[in-house]
Structure 1
Amino acid sequence: MQLKYKRILLKLSGESLMGEQQFGIDASMLHHYANQIKVLVDVGVQVAVVIGGGNIFRGLSASKSGIERVQGDYMGMLATVINGMALQSALEGNGIYTRLISAIEMKQIAEPYIRRRAIRHLEKGRVVIFSAGTGSPYFTTDSAAALRANEINADVILKGTRVDGIYSADPEKDPTATKFDTLTYTKVISLGLGVMDMTAFTLCQENNIPIVVFDINVHENLMRIVRGESIGTLVEG
C-alpha cells in the first residue's frame, strides 16, 4: 500500500473523549480512537499521539475558580496523563504495543521524555503517547504537539476535531461559513483562523510541517489521509 505519510503525530482534544457526556471519558470514544489507530499501525504507519485534558481540567479556566495560572496549567498537564493512560489501555486491549511518555517525571506510570528513545519506540512499531504537555506552564497541548512533531521528525500533524476541516467561521454557529480545502500558513494568519495557538502554528510554519485538520469521528478518515486522499483541510507552504 502506498502511504503519503509514514510517521504521523495525531492531536486529539480531551473534549473529544467526552462523547455525549458533559465531562470525563466515554468508553465508546476510546475504543473508536483505538480502532482507528490500530488500522494505521497494521499497515506500518508510525503513530505518535498528543491528547489534551479539557474533559477533566482546563488550565486556562482555572483562574475562574481562584486557582493560580501556573498551578492550573500543571493540573491540566496531569489531566492529559490520565487521558493518556486511558488511551494506552484501550490500545493495548486491541493488541497494540504502546509507550506512555510524560514530560513531567512520574516513573511509576510513564517513561520520561527522551527524544531518541521515543523515536526508537516508533521505529519498533509502538504507538507513543506524549502526555503532560511540554512540562512547562503557559504552553497548550497544541504547542506540545507541534514541538514533539518537530522533535520526532513527523511527516504531518493530523488534528482531529468535530468538524470536517477549517472554515471561514464556526460552522456550528454560522451556516454561511465556507470550508477551505487547502491553506498556506500566511493565509491562516492573515484571516485570523484558529487552527492552533500561535506558538504551535509558528513552530510548524518555521519547520515546514504540514497540518491536516479533519473530522476524527468519521471512520476511515485517518487511513484515507495517510494514503494521500484530500480529507479535511491541509495547511502547508
Structure 2
Amino acid sequence: MSELKYRRILLKLSGEALAGPQEYGIDPKAADDIAQRIREVREMGVDVAIVIGAGNLWRGRVGLEAGMDRATADYMGMLATVMNALALMDALERLGVVVRVQSAIEMHAVAEPYIRRRAIRHLEKGRVVIFGGGTGNPYFSTDTAAALRAMEINADVLIKATKVDGVYDSDPKRNPNAVKFDRLTYIETLNRRLEVMDSTAISLCMENKLPILVLNLWDPEALRLSLLGEIRGTLVHAG
C-alpha cells in the first residue's frame, strides 16, 4: 500500500450532503453513501473526525429575515447539527464503524460533551469522532468550528467536501468557462473572495498553517487518492 500523506483528517460536510435529491431533511440513502466513503478512508488507517453543517434542516438567515434574534437562530442551527451527527453515526455504525458523537452543547442523553483530550483518545483508538453543536457559540459558522476542531485534534488537513471537483473562479454550473484552481494560497483565497470557507475559518487555518483541501466527495477516487498525495481537488496552503 502507498504511503499516506495525511494520517489524521477533519472532514467538513455540509448539511445538504445528507439531504439527497429532495434537498431538504435527512435522506438515509445519502447518509449511507457518505458513511461508505468514510469507512473506506478509515480502513486505510486514517484517523477521521467530522464536522457537519445544518443547512438541510435549518438556515439561520431564514429566521433573521423573519426578525428572529441572531443568537436564537444560531443556537437552533447548532441543535440541528447534532441531529445530522446522530444520523451519520447511525449510518456508520450499521457498517461496523465505531463512532463517537461529541457536542459543544451538552446533551448527555444523545452525545458526549466535547472534551479535546477525550476526542484525541477516541481517534487514537480508531474511532470516528463526529463533532456536533458547532463551536457552542452563536455568530460562528460550522466552517469555523471545523477549523477550530481540526487545530485542536492536530489534524494534518481540513477537507471541505463539496459536489464539485475543487475551487473555481466562478460557479462552474453557471459558467462553462470557469477556471479551476489546483492550488491557492490563503491570501489569494481571501483576496479573491472565493467561496471556499468563511473568512474566519480561512484566517484561522492561515495563522496555524493548516492546509485546506476542497474536493468532490462523490468522486469515488478523489478522497482516497488525495490522502495518498495525488491531490484531486484544490489545495489551499501557505504557498
Deviant stretches of 4+, over 4 Å = none
Cα drift, residue 22 of structure 1: 3.1
Cα drift, residue 60 of structure 1: 2.8
Matching residue of 1:148: 149
Cα drift, residue 14 of structure 1: 0.3
Residues 224, 231 of structure 1: 8 Å contact kept: yes
Cα drift, residue 187 of structure 1: 1.1
Matching residue of 1:64: 65
Matching residue of 1:177: 178
Matching residue of 1:84: 85
Matching residue of 2:162: 161
RMSD of aligned residue pairs (Cα, Å): 0.9
Cα drift, residue 220 of structure 1: 2.6
Residues 60, 73 of structure 1: 8 Å contact kept: no
Counterpart Cα distance in 2 of 1:100 and 1:167: 33
User: TM-score scaled by structure 1?
Assistant: 0.98
The range that moved more, 53-62 or 119-128, is 53-62
Look up the equivalent residue of 1:209 and give its one-letter code. L
Structure 1 residues not aligned, in runs of 5+: none
Cα deviations by residue, 1:178-214 (Å, 9 ceiling, x for unpaired) = 0000111111122121211111110000000000101
Structure 2 residues not aligned, in runs of 5+: none
Matching residue of 1:111: 112
Look up the equivalent residue of 1:55 and give its one-letter code. N
TM-aligned CA distance change 1:76 to 1:125, over 3 Å: same
Counterpart Cα distance in 1 of 2:231 and 2:82: 32
Cα deviations by residue, 1:11-63 (Å, 9 ceiling, x for unpaired) = 00001111111310112211111011111111210000000000000123311
Look up the equivalent residue of 1:17 and give its one-letter code. L
The range that moved more, 78-87 or 184-193, is 184-193
TM alignment of 1:150-229, pairs within 5 A: 150-229=151-230
The range that moved more, 58-67 or 178-187, is 58-67
Cα drift, residue 222 of structure 1: 1.6
Counterpart Cα distance in 2 of 1:231 and 1:22: 26
Counterpart Cα distance in 1 of 2:229 and 2:189: 22
Matching residue of 1:15: 16
Matching residue of 1:52: 53
Counterpart Cα distance in 1 of 2:173 and 2:24: 20
Counterpart Cα distance in 2 of 1:138 and 1:144: 11
The range that moved more, 37-46 or 61-70, is 61-70
Counterpart Cα distance in 2 of 1:161 and 1:85: 21
Counterpart Cα distance in 2 of 1:90 and 1:235: 30
Counterpart Cα distance in 2 of 1:130 and 1:66: 29
Q: Does the alignment pair 1:102 with 2:103? A: yes
Q: Does the alignment pair 1:137 with 2:138? A: yes
Q: Does the alignment pair 1:3 with 2:34? A: no
Matching residue of 1:32: 33
Q: Secondary structure at the match of 1:20?
A: helix
Look up the equivalent residue of 2:145 and give its one-letter code. A
Q: Secondary structure at the match of 2:78?
A: helix
Matching residue of 1:120: 121
